[in-house]
Amino acid sequence: MTAITVETTDQKYLISIDRSLMDKPSFYAFFERLRLEALAHQIETNETDLMALSEEIKANWWAKNQAKITSQIASYNPPGS
């Protein structure tokens, strides 16, 4: 048996992966990558919109986590200080 086989039907690609090829976490990471690729092909956007979304996500993350991070930095005492 080959490690990876692909069959094509009228409506689907059927992919078989031998379990000895990768462990479960690696398989799920691979599968998640395929899922994200499929979702990316479904949206219609451009690089400018994606960069704006990226900046919005970073700004929202920073607003949510700034206090926690700055308090940890403020209370950090490096060894030997």
Q: Cα(58)–Cα(65) distance, rounded to whole angstroms?
A: 10
Q: What is the pLDDT of residues 3-54, one digit of tens each?
A: 899 999 999 999 999 999 889 999 999 999 999 888 888 887 888 988 898 9
Two structure tokens written together for 33: 């990558």
Residues 32, 65, 52, 41, Cα dihedral to 10°: 10
* % residues pLDDT > 70 (the chain): 98
Task: List all residues 6 or more positions away from 1 whose beta carbon is below 8 Å from its beta carbon.
Answer: 18
Residue 76's pLDDT band (cuts 50, 70, 90): confident
Statement: the pTM of the whole predicted model exceeds 0.75 = no
- Which amino acid is it at 76? Y
